[in-house]
Chains A and B, each alone.
Chain A
Amino acid sequence: MFNLSKKDLSLLILVAVLTLFAPFILNPFPAGSAMAQFNAGYPDLMQRFVIFGIFAIGFNILFGLTGYLSFGHAAFLGVGSYAAVWMFKLLSMNVIPAILLAVIVSGLFSLLIGFISLRRSGIYFSILTLAFAQMMFALAYSVLTPVTGGETGLQLALNDPRILGASQTPEGNIPVPGLFGLEMRDSADLVIGSWVFTFNVGYYFCALVLLASFYLSIRIFRSPFGMMLRAVKSNQQRMNYTGLNTRPYTLAAFVISGMYAGLAGGLMASMDPLAGAERMQWTASGEVVLMTILGGAGTLIGPVLGAGFIKYFENIFSKINDNVLHSWFSFLPDGLENAVVFIIHPFIGKGWHLTLGILFMLVVIFLPGGLVEGGQRIRGWLRSRKSKDNGSASHETNPAE
């Protein structure tokens, strides 16, 4: 089906099941219980999971396949969001034109930046992309304030024209982004016992886009074009000596991943119609590198896992405060309770960076292939145990993925 091998198809189905049932999977704890703090199944975070998943998938097409490490990818995400918000301001609140424009504009920007940056490789390429991204950030933050809203970010206003839509709702509010009347922020709650599961229109829209992008990425990975990109990674010089011009291939990969970033940016603006310059800062570019490496660079599903991992920490751990800790450990005697809270304190709340940093180090040191390698090891361990139980140790070697 879909022209995929059995293995890729099962991966696609796995991702589809995971995303479609995310409201259940991410809300394992009953609402109101002490563990509800760790629930991540609310619309905003679920949307972020899939949007950053798309961003990381696109980044992986460049970094994972060609080995070109772009340190300025957030710039395309930012450009995409600005384009989408402008579409909301000028045309209508329908998300389709906004996302289309976001992809096109970021594609154009990446074509220009890629054309210049790809004249160099290795660290020089990274620095060039970083420089471009910082330049764009600085422009958006101050010089281009009339276009980008500067520090405050680009926002919708009551007096925007919105040629194909209404400037304001009958109640006198700014309309919200939607898909032909289906509002992105609409949600329905499913209450089962003390569990509450939220199904959000915007999330499912993003999830469908994620599945489409994931499918496209599989096809690119398995295509002759993908093979050419891998060849660039393994030895570009040799390819040049055989008379092959690799530049068009790398440029195409760069533009594709830039358009993925623009798509993510457009989706982000569709879920929450605001575009801020911070989205383009170098820390945001670094974040997508972290996501890809944490999940497993060059693997299909790794970047999505990495994106989810980082966003989970950013949104869940940063919100645990001492009060929450005290309520968890209130069963302990007073002195002990305070001691435990004191020890955990630096790792939660504002210390979420620290926790994430430690985990990142652990992953990079012990699982250089990222979370995907962790999964493979667990699977391998289970399999070897099973075969030992059967008493027939199989000696076949599985090809590495």
Chain B
Amino acid sequence: MPKLDVSRRGLLRTGAVAGAGLALPTIFTAQSAHAFTNEPTGGTVTLGFNVPQTGPYADEGADELRAYELAVEHLNGGGDAGMMNTFSSKALQGNGILGKKVEYVTGDTQTKSDAARASAKSMIEKDGAVMITGGSSSGVAVAVQALCQEAGVIFMAGLTHSNDTTGKDKRANGFRHFFNSYMSGAALAPVLAGAYGTDRKAYHLTADYNWGYTTEEAVKSSTEAMGWDTVAAVKTPLTQTDFSSYIAPVLQSGADTLVLNHYGGNMVNSLTNAVQFGLRDKQVNGKDFQIVVPLYSRLMAKGAGANVKGIFGSTNWHWTLQDEGSKAFVKSFGTKYGFPPSQAAHTTYVQTLLYADAVERAGSFAPCAVAEALEDYEFDGLGNGKTLYRGADHQCFKDVLVVKGKENPTSEFDLLEIVEVTPVDQVTYDPDHPQFSGGALGTCNNGA
């Protein structure tokens, strides 16, 4: 039983404690005091660059990070301003974003959704990042996008090709500049029909995960619309490194075309196996056997070496493009790092500029204002020609490149040649297309 202390000292003590107790609520600031999550109040604004630094896509991640550093340099007025000069919007002044100097924090996604979310969370909770961007896999993109929606910050997706990112898993706070599986299929099919005819029997090998499924579906439906037959579609485990046992049955199936819905190390290995098995020297149904890789990247082409020669695929952007924007970007990237950028670097650089520009035009960092500025925004001069950020699903619509492995590469970077630039109309689809259905954008979230 505590004794009631009525001495002078005791009274002072209780008084002080009570006073502190009363004052306590005033020094606690609930985080909802801000208008939106991580509202930048000082002279700087922090962006979070969340890229794979370890794991299977570490190469892409490193290139993304280089592009981000370049973009920050340009936004702060350093360097030669790169694509800011060719960008159709002139809102960016080279004095940061809304006059605030751009700072950044980096993190490692490890290409695991858990690690990516942990890293993004620490950027939001600890470093006060107002926008998260990056990643080199659709699983990570979808996971981080959902997190950003919840936390009330903008997510600018990096390299993510699955339909789901802006399909069934789309979110109001997430935006994707990169193209997707559907666009790959729609762009590739006519070129394939032109090169190999409309009477082909295709055999799909598909990486057994989300991106593989959507790519297989997209390529299948586009080529079947051209008159091709799909003989079989076989799933391969993501961790598979030797594909010989999957290649052998291809010849017995009567198929004359092999579609490799693989990416990264998977694609390098499966293509190498297929070429070593001599598939490309075979004649089936009176036609030359052909191989197709729906999603190409220069870094993968490098891994597969001479095996990519003459093989068709699609890509978002390639450094040999001759428009002003691409030239300016390749020049400033090359000056800084000594080699041309990859498509991963391009899309992340563009995403950073687009975000900064949207903030300038909106006059606010508030996610809902930024989202409104990006939705249905049309721009040009960022390397892909005229582009639309569609408001209905936050997907960019632009020309898609169909490329082919170069027969006589002049350098280790010059591995792909552009066969055709498929115009944007040919790859546009309805927001409620069956391959993208099942999700809802929801409403934008400004957070606390």
Contacts and interface: CB of A to CB of B under 8 A. Distances in A.
Nearest to B150: A176
Given A39-B126, A189-B29, A272-B147, 12 more contacts: A42-B122, A45-B118, A145-B210, A171-B445, A272-B121, A274-B113, A276-B112, A276-B114, A314-B118, A318-B108, A319-B106, A321-B105
A367 to B, nearest CB: 27
A159 B119 CA distance: 28
A141 interface: yes
A319 B208 CA distance: 31
Contacts of A165: none
B105 A152 contact: no
Contacts of A199: 28
A193 to B, nearest CB: 11
B164 A152 contact: yes
A168 B440 CA distance: 11
Interface string B129-149: 000000001110011001101
Interface string A138-160: 10011001000011110111110
Contacts of A353: 54
B193 interface: no
B108 A274 contact: no
Interface in B423-448: 439-440, 442-443, 445
Contacts of A189: 28-31
A73 interface: no
A114 B238 CA distance: 28
A278 B30 CA distance: 34
Given A191-B29, A278-B113, A138 B119 contact: no
A319 B440 contact: no
Interface in B173-215: 208-211, 213
A279 B118 CA distance: 12
Interface string A354-384: 0000000000000000000000000000000
Interface string A335-360: 00000000000000110110000000
Contacts of A151: 137-139, 209-211, 238
A173 interface: yes
Most chain B CB within 10 A, of A43, A45, A159, A274, is at A274
Contacts of A350: 53-54, 58, 108
A173 B445 contact: yes
Contacts of A279: 114
Given A152-B169, A173-B445, A353-B54, A142 B27 contact: no
Shortest 3 CB-CB contacts between residues of A and residues of B: A350-B53, A172-B443, A151-B209
Interface residues of A, number: 50
Nearest to A171: B443
B439 A157 contact: yes
A196 to B, nearest CB: 9
Contacts of B117: 272, 274
B235 A276 contact: no
B112 A278 contact: yes
A8 interface: no
Contacts of A272: 117, 121, 147
B107 A318 contact: yes
A89 interface: no
Contacts of B107: 318-319
B208 A142 contact: yes
Given A155-B169, A168-B442, A141 B31 contact: no
Nearest to A149: B210
A153 B31 contact: no
A318 B51 CA distance: 11
Contacts of B119: 315, 318-319
A159 B121 contact: no
Given A151-B139, A155-B143, A349 B53 contact: yes
B143 A153 contact: yes
Most chain A beta carbons < 10 A, residue from B125, B147, B211:
B125
B440 A44 contact: no
Interface residues of B, number: 49
8 contacts: A45-B126, A141-B209, A152-B164, A152-B169, A172-B443, A191-B29, A319-B119, A350-B58
Interface string A187-206: 11111100000110000000
Nearest to A316: B122
Interface in B22-36: 27-31
A104 B369 CA distance: 45
Tell me what chain A mostly uses at the interface: helix, strand, loop, or mixed: mixed
Nearest to B445: A173
B31 A188 contact: yes
A174 interface: yes
Contacts of B121: 44, 272
Interface in B60-81: none
Interface string A15-36: 0000000000000000000000
Between A191, A349, A352, the greatest number of chain B beta carbons within 10 A of the residue's beta carbon is seen for A349
Contacts of B169: 152, 155
B108 A191 contact: no
With most chain A CB atoms within 10 A of its CB, the pick from B114, B137, B143, B146 is B114
B115 interface: yes
A153 B106 CA distance: 23
A191 B138 CA distance: 39
Contact of A42 (B113, B126, B208): B126
Contacts of A171: 443, 445
Contacts of B305: none
Contacts of B138: 151-152
A142 to B, nearest CB: 4
Contacts of B334: none
Contact of B113 (A142, A152, A318): A152
A196 B213 CA distance: 46
Nearest to A172: B443
A393 B438 CA distance: 76
Given A174-B442, A279-B114, A142 B146 contact: no
A190 B106 contact: no
Contact of B106 (A156, A188, A321): A321
Contacts of B114: 153, 274, 276, 278-279
A323 to B, nearest CB: 8
B40 to A, nearest CB: 13
Interface string B252-265: 00000000000000
B25 to A, nearest CB: 10
A331 to B, nearest CB: 20
Interface in B74-116: 104-108, 112-115
A12 B125 CA distance: 30
Given A39-B126, A152-B164, A188-B29, A48 B118 contact: yes
B227 interface: no
